[in-house]
A and B are shown apart, each in its own frame.
Chain A
Amino acid sequence: MAGVLLLVKIGWRNLWRNPRGTLLTALALGMGLTLLLISLGLLDGSQEQMIGNAVRFGTGHVVIQAQGYQQSGSQELLLPAPVMSAAEAFLHTDAMKHVVRGVSPRLLASGLLSSAANADGVDIMGVIPIEERTVSLIPQRIVEGSYLSDDQQSGIVIGTELARKLAVKIGGKLVLTSQMVQLPDTEAADTGGGEMQSTLLRVSGIFRTGVQAIDAHIIQMPLPEAQTLLGVPDRITEVAVLLEREGDSLMVAQDLRKQLTGTPVEILTWREAMPTLAQLVSLDEAFNYVMNGVVLAMVGLAIFNTILMRVLERRYEFGLCSALGLRPGQLAVMVIGESLALTTISLGLGLVLGLSAQHYFATSGLDLRWFFKSSLPTALVFDPIIYARLSVTRIASSVGIVFLTAIVISLYPALRAARTELPGALRVF
Chain B
Amino acid sequence: MTGALLRLAWRNLWYNPGRTLIAMAAIGLGYAMLMFVACLMAGLRQQMIESGTGLLLSDIEVHAPDYYPDRPIQQTLGGRNGTDVNALLATIATAPGVQAASPRAYAYGLVSAAHQSVGAQLLGIVPAQERKTTVLQTRMVKGGYLTGQMPNGVVMGDELATALGVDVGSEIVLLTPAADGSTGNDVYTVVGLFHTGLDAMDRALVLMPLTSLQHLLRLSPARIHEVAIKLRDITTATTTAASLKASLSKTLPVRVMPWQELAPELADYVQFNRRVTFILFFIFFLLVAMGIINTMLMAIIQRTRELGMLMAVGMRPVQVVGLIVAEAASLAGASLVLGAALGSPLLWYLQVHGLNLGHKGGGVSLAGVLVGPLWYGRQDFTAYAQAALGLAVTALAAALYPALRAARFRPAEALRKV
Pairwise interchain contact B22-A38, C-beta atoms closer than 8 A? no
Pairwise interchain contact A302-B26, C-beta atoms closer than 8 A? yes
Give B358-383 as 1s and 0s: 1 = Cβ < 8 Å from A's Cβ atoms.
Answer: 00110111110001000000000000
* Interface hit among A62-70, A178-186, A287-295: A287-295
Contact of B37 among A31, A291, A310, A378 (CB under 8 A): A291
Give 19 CB contacts A-B under 8 Å.
A24-B293, A210-B265, A211-B265, A283-B364, A283-B366, A287-B44, A294-B33, A302-B287, A304-B26, A305-B26, A305-B27, A305-B291, A312-B19, A371-B275, A371-B278, A378-B265, A378-B268, A381-B268, A382-B268
Pairwise interchain contact A286-B295, C-beta atoms closer than 8 A? no
Pairwise interchain contact B367-A280, C-beta atoms closer than 8 A? yes
Which A residues are in CB contact (< 8 Å) with B275? 368, 371-372
> Shortest beta-carbon distance, B387 to chain A, in Å?
12
A372 to B281, CA, bound (A): 14
Pairwise interchain contact B295-A309, C-beta atoms closer than 8 A? yes
Seed contacts A161-B69, A305-B22, A309-B298; 4 additional CB < 8 Å A-B pairs: A32-B287, A213-B200, A279-B363, A309-B23
A376 to B272, CA, bound (A): 10
> Shortest beta-carbon distance, B309 to chain A, in Å?
11
Contact of A313 among B36, B280, B291, B302 (CB under 8 A): B302
Pairwise interchain contact B364-A302, C-beta atoms closer than 8 A? no
> Shortest beta-carbon distance, B317 to chain A, in Å?
21
Residue of B at shortest CB range from A165?
B70
Q: Does A414 contact B (CB under 8 A)?
A: no
The 7 closest A-B pairs by CB, nearest first: A305-B26, A286-B361, A286-B360, A283-B364, A279-B364, A301-B26, A28-B290
Tell me the dominant secondary structure on chain B's binding face.
helix
A297 to B280, CA, bound (A): 12
A375 to B275, CA, bound (A): 12
Pairwise interchain contact A295-B265, C-beta atoms closer than 8 A? no
A38-B283, A312-B19, A371-B275 are known contacts. Are A289 and B360 too (CB-CB below 8 A)? Answer: yes
Q: Does B305 contact A (CB under 8 A)?
A: yes
Which B residues are in CB contact (< 8 Å) with A382? 268-269, 272
A190 to B181, CA, bound (A): 38
Q: Does B271 contact A (CB under 8 A)?
A: yes
Residue of A at shortest CB range from B362?
A282
> Shortest beta-carbon distance, A285 to chain B, in Å?
7
Contact of B22 among A165, A212, A286, A308 (CB under 8 A): A308
- The B-contacting residues of A in range 75-118, CB under 8 angstroms, are none
Pairwise interchain contact B290-A31, C-beta atoms closer than 8 A? yes
Which of A289, A291, A376 counts the most chain B CB atoms within 10 A?
A291
Contact of B291 among A39, A280, A306, A378 (CB under 8 A): A306
Q: Does B325 contact A (CB under 8 A)?
A: no
Which of A42, A121, A283, A302 counts the most chain B CB atoms within 10 A?
A283
A-B contacts at CB below 8 angstroms, number: 140
Pairwise interchain contact B298-A21, C-beta atoms closer than 8 A? yes
A372 to B273, CA, bound (A): 12
Q: Does B276 contact A (CB under 8 A)?
A: yes
Which B residues are in CB contact (< 8 Å) with A306? 291, 294
A286-B361, A309-B295 are known contacts. Are A295 and B286 too (CB-CB below 8 A)? Answer: no
Tell me the dominant secondary structure on chain A's binding face.
helix
A312 to B277, CA, bound (A): 35
Q: Does A332 contact B (CB under 8 A)?
A: no
Give B133-172 as 1s and 0s: 1 = Cβ < 8 Å from A's Cβ atoms.
Answer: 0000000000000000000000000000000000000000
Q: Does A391 contact B (CB under 8 A)?
A: no
> Shortest beta-carbon distance, A362 to chain B, in Å?
16
- The B-contacting residues of A in range 324-353, CB under 8 angstroms, are none
Which B residues are in CB contact (< 8 Å) with A358? none
Pairwise interchain contact B291-A302, C-beta atoms closer than 8 A? yes
Contact of A298 among B279, B283, B360 (CB under 8 A): B283
Q: Does A242 contact B (CB under 8 A)?
A: no
Which A residues are in CB contact (< 8 Å) with B273? 287
Q: Does B321 contact A (CB under 8 A)?
A: no
Pairwise interchain contact B69-A212, C-beta atoms closer than 8 A? yes
Residue of A at shortest CB range from B297?
A24
A28-B290, A31-B287, A298-B33 are known contacts. Are A21 and B199 too (CB-CB below 8 A)? Answer: no
Pairwise interchain contact A31-B286, C-beta atoms closer than 8 A? yes
Give A261-294 as 1s and 0s: 1 = Cβ < 8 Å from B's Cβ atoms.
Answer: 0000000000000001001101101110111001
Give B287-308 as 1s and 0s: 1 = Cβ < 8 Å from A's Cβ atoms.
Answer: 1001101110110011001100
A287 to B367, CA, bound (A): 15
A295 to B36, CA, bound (A): 12
Q: Does B347 contact A (CB under 8 A)?
A: no
Pairwise interchain contact A210-B298, C-beta atoms closer than 8 A? no
Pairwise interchain contact A313-B298, C-beta atoms closer than 8 A? yes
Which B residues are in CB contact (< 8 Å) with A376? 271
A211 to B272, CA, bound (A): 16
Pairwise interchain contact A279-B283, C-beta atoms closer than 8 A? no
A276-B199, A309-B19, A312-B19 are known contacts. Are A46 and B297 too (CB-CB below 8 A)? Answer: no
Pairwise interchain contact B283-A283, C-beta atoms closer than 8 A? no
A207 to B230, CA, bound (A): 35
Q: Does B284 contact A (CB under 8 A)?
A: yes
Residue of A at shortest CB range from B40?
A290
> Shortest beta-carbon distance, A202 to chain B, in Å?
25
A282-B364, A283-B371 are known contacts. Are A295 and B283 too (CB-CB below 8 A)? Answer: yes
Give B35-59 as 1s and 0s: 1 = Cβ < 8 Å from A's Cβ atoms.
Answer: 0110011001000000000000000
